[in-house]
Structure 1
Amino acid sequence: MCLLMEATIEVTGLRKRFGRTRALDGMTFTVLPGQVTGFVGPNGAGKSTTMRVVLGLDAPDEGSALVGGRPYRSLSRPLSHVGALLDAGALQPGRTARNHLLWLAHSQGLGVRRVDEVLDQVGLAGAARRRAGGFSLGMRQRLGIAAALLGDPPVLMLDEPFNGLDPEGIVWIRAFLRSLAGEGRAVLVSSHLMSELEDTAGQLVVAGRGRVVADLAVSELIASASRDRVTLRTTERSAAMAALAGAGATAAAGERDTLVVSGLPAEGVVRLLGAHQVPFSEVSAHRATLEEAYLELTRDAVEYKGAAR
């Protein structure tokens, strides 16, 4: 079982340029043990570069990135400290899944038994002797996660692990990531799929323009984006909008017979519609999705032109 004191990622003041492109501009956050932390942002926000710096694949111009209080390059057996999946296609297609993991295991002094354990953990035991080149993207994702787990590390970093997974695989990885965090590990997951992170992550780090835009609990972000908005369902939308405007509230048309109302609580909407004899079938407090909250936060985080990472 991993030691909690080792299960952290500390990113402090990272700055990095690639030619004229400023990829990182003071990126700072901490990934704590015992939870899944989502790492999100527009293309070019600096997510992949940050993860590469943590793993020693890119050197920062300024700042530091530590795993369990130490730079990655100082770790003698790195897979026992941090497991990572950055590119599910980074494998030799002629090797079987088992042989792909065996050479990684041997490089870290790990035995055959551990290889078979992680293959079983990710649901690839039955495909262990198939060549990885014939795997679907979802199966390659599972193999990459198995590789990340080889050293039973206290820290895991996964870049877009939901890509290519079928519905069954999505359900599996949600529960799997939560279980890994439940064991006390620090789990950092970069993804563009907000719906999957909403059901998986407890904490969210939102990046934009090479820095952190927000770092807070998923529940707090959704509550902030929801504010005091109300969902109204009525067959008389025009009459409802006129009544709401007269009371100083604003209403935006939603799907079919719905309106999203701002500036008036649910009970106030009910009283107002009753007074104006506007029929309605639903008035409920609006709960924003994580995607809505994310889009609101990153509205001004323009993608870097020509950014490659």
Structure 2
Amino acid sequence: MPADRCQPGVNRRHRADTGRAVDLHSTLFAPRPRTDEHVSGASIEVIELRKRFGSTVALDGMSFTVAPGKVTGFVGPNGAGKSTTIRAILGLDAPDAGRALIGGAAYRRLRHPLRHVGALVDDAALQPGRTGRNHLLWIARSQKIEAGRVDAVLEQVGLTSAGRRKAGGYSLGMRQRLGIGAALLGDPAVVILDEPFNGMDPEGIIWMRGLLRTLAQEKRSVLVSSHLMGELQGTADHVVVVGRGRVLADASIDDLVARVSRDQVLLRTSAPDQAVRLLGQAGAAAAGSGDIVTVTGIGAQRVVELLAAAGVAFSEVTAQRGTLEDVYLQLTSGEVEFRSGDGREGRR
């Protein structure tokens, strides 16, 4: 089999009747014309993907676009269809309907695909007896990437000193870095990372944030699947929230948080009952618990103005803005419906 068809990490099984190894990737996708077109600045297009596993619907019309120059977060509960979508983009799962395109081409049509698309899907997809450097060399040779690129990538991911150690002795965070290094070997225009923050210590998380921002600044399309909402809110520009195999929201993080979440004001006062009545008359929703009143519907400045004008004593007013985690919980619980594209939403 030619080296450019041997994709690292693609599953293989043994056919008992012939004794030959069968490449599942080649079995699913028969040879067809391939392209070596440069896909710099390429986007990812997911178009009406549908996929069933038996009676289970994994993808139910999944559609979204990942644009160059942005970090796009990809979030949803377990079973929402994130992994199946990523596998469909990378040609590892064949959808029942719909298409996944990279720069307008299906993954299987890309010659030397790691030069176009770099992906971290499974940090365990390595031979523990190989050194980290040899692991990357094996991948580089399969894609006809120069060996010098391996040492550059090891330095980029902070594994230069550990590169000649056997990968089986790496920590989870080091395996993550090695997997990210493999994804970056071909200097791709598109980068897809599945849970890249897993196993990272605080220093690694800071490094990961910086790497993602740098990749986006280089006009690459970056798709990051993660369950760490705080990290995504501080790193991603855009977010696609999925559930039950379809897109629940597709918007910039700032826009989504502003439209779906409810900002709150926390008020500390010695006259909570009086404050609740006053703020309710002004159109706010206010509820007291001890000396704390929680207010929604009006901003902190307006709360202060109303209390001061009425002579209601207070010692503290704190504005609390909604977070991506708040939005995620509302969307995935079904409390909120957010219609992508027109920016409108509704509450159940």
- TM (norm. structure 1) is 0.90
Inter-partner Cα distance in structure 1 for 2:225 and 2:305: 45
Question: Is structure 2 residue 92 aligned with structure 1 residue 71?
Answer: no
How many residues are aligned here? 299
Tell me if the contact between 2:41 and 2:219 (Cα under 8 Å) persists in the aligned partners: no
Q: Which moved more, 1:218-227 or 1:105-114?
A: 218-227
One-letter amino acid matched to 2:210: A
Q: CA deviation at 1:244?
A: 3.2
What residue in structure 2 maps to residue 260 of structure 1? 294
Residues 177 and 142 of structure 1: CA distance in aligned 2, closer, same or farther (over 3 Å): same
Deviations 1:145-202 (A, max 9, x none): 0000000000000000001100000001001110011001000000000000011100
What residue in structure 2 maps to residue 128 of structure 1? 163
Inter-partner Cα distance in structure 2 for 1:168 and 1:258: 37
Which of 63, 66, 70 is the equivalent residue of 1:28? 63
Structure 2: gaps (5+ residues): 1-36, 336-348
DSSP 3-state at the match of 1:127: coil
Q: Which has the higher contact order (CA 8 A, sep 6+)?
A: 1
Which of 267, 270, 292 is the equivalent residue of 2:304? 270
Question: Is structure 2 residue 323 aligned with structure 1 residue 289?
Answer: yes
Q: CA deviation at 1:235?
A: 5.1
Which of 280, 283, 289 is the equivalent residue of 2:314? 280
Write out aligned runs for 1:222-261 (5 A): 222-227=257-262, 229-234=264-269, 236-252=271-287, 258-261=292-295
Inter-partner Cα distance in structure 1 for 2:71 and 2:312: 46
What residue in structure 2 maps to residue 40 of structure 1? 75
Residues 16 and 224 of structure 1: CA distance in aligned 2, closer, same or farther (over 3 Å): same
Write out aligned runs for 1:173-192 (5 A): 173-192=208-227
Tell me if the contact between 1:222 and 1:293 (Cα under 8 Å) persists in the aligned partners: yes
Which of 330, 333, 345 is the equivalent residue of 1:299? 333
Q: Which moved more, 1:5-14 or 1:121-130?
A: 5-14
Which of 26, 51, 57 is the equivalent residue of 2:92? 57
Q: List 4+ stretches of structure 1 deviating above 6 A.
A: none
Inter-partner Cα distance in structure 2 for 1:179 and 1:253: 46
- Identity, % of aligned positions: 63
Larger Rg, first or second structure (1 or 2)? 2
Structure 1: gaps (5+ residues): 302-309
- TM (norm. structure 2) is 0.80
> What root-mean-square deviation, in Å, do the aligned CA atoms of Structure 1 and Structure 2 show?
2.2
Residues 283 and 133 of structure 1: CA distance in aligned 2, closer, same or farther (over 3 Å): same
